[in-house]
Amino acid sequence: MSDRILPEERLIFAMDVPNTDRARALATELGDSVRFYKLGLELMMSGGYFELLDWLVASDKQVFVDLKFFDVPATVASAVRRLNNRGITFTTVHGNQSIMESAAEAKGDVKILAVTVLTSLDRGDLDDLGFACNVEDLVLSRARRALEAGCDGVVSSGLEAPRLREFIDHRLLVVTPGIRPVDNRPADDQKRVVSVEQAFSNGADYIVVGRPIRDADSPREAAEGIQKSIAKSFAAA
């Protein structure tokens, strides 16, 4: 785990809302309780994605472009280059060694995160996809390949973070989604989840939180509560 990251910047809010008007309103409501935003496919398809991105950067926020690029290597490289010099911190790629290598070569000032195994997948899902290994072994294999390809980090469940820290170079950033400060709701599609405290104890550098903030009665209070948990985790370290 990197100790050079400010505790208040370790929370990444997943801005999974229908349109950019709602995104701007929510970011305004959250104010200084959130310093880092993840912008994904839903917002990309709604229009105004890059205008929102530029607005967040101009507001001194960090931005994670989570579009999980997966295409022929040259196309992925071209897409990543379009993100250079815009104040973006992270972007994500899927795929094999050549895709990751092409993204890493084109990254410029953007850090490349390789997706390991989505937190919405479990052992049964991997069986359906034809993977014979268990989840931890697959995550570890993909993380090793990501480091060899020149990626800066991985997106991984907090459940696998301890093995990543044990067997992979500590220069590799670990960004952990599937964070649930409270018990999952019945409609939740995340399967491999951890708490805020468990994620950082296991070795995560950043956590990604969406619904527990977005769907709270007071999103700002929810974010502030998570920030307090993060601060407590690092004060005790």
Identity of the residue numbered 195: S
Give the structural domain span for 17. 7-235
DSSP secondary structure, 74-129, as one string: HHHHHHHHTTTTS---EEEE-S-HHHHHHHHHT-TTSEEEEE-S-TT--HHHHHHH
Q: Is residue 95 part of a domain?
A: yes
Strands 173-176 and 111-115, sheet pairing: unpaired
Reading the chain (237 residues) residue by residue, the pLDDT tens digits are 667 899 999 999 999 999 999 999 999 999 999 999 999 999 999 999 999 999 999 999 999 999 999 999 999 999 999 999 999 999 999 878 999 999 999 999 999 999 875 544 454 544 554 554 566 677 788 889 999 999 999 998 888 888 888 888 778 999 999 887 754 444 444 554 689 999 999 999 999 999 999 999 999 999 999 999 999 988 865
User: Six-digit token pair at 172?
Assistant: 């590799």
Q: Is residue 1 part of a domain?
A: no
CATH code, 177: 3.20.20.70
For residue 158, tell me if it sits in a domain.
Answer: yes
**Closest C-alpha to 202, from 193, 211, 191, 212:** 193
Is 20 domain-assigned? Answer: yes
Q: Which two tokens stand for residue 116?
A: 């390991």
Position 41 in a domain: yes
Buried b vs exposed e over 204-235: b needs ≥16 C-beta within 10 Å? bbbbbbbbbbbeeeebbebbbbbbebbeebee
Instruction: Please confirm, yes or no, whether 107 is among the known catalytic residues.
Output: no
Catalytic residue (choose from 68, 111, 191, 232): 68
In this prediction the pTM is 0.88
Domain count, the chain: 1
Residue 2 belongs to a domain: no
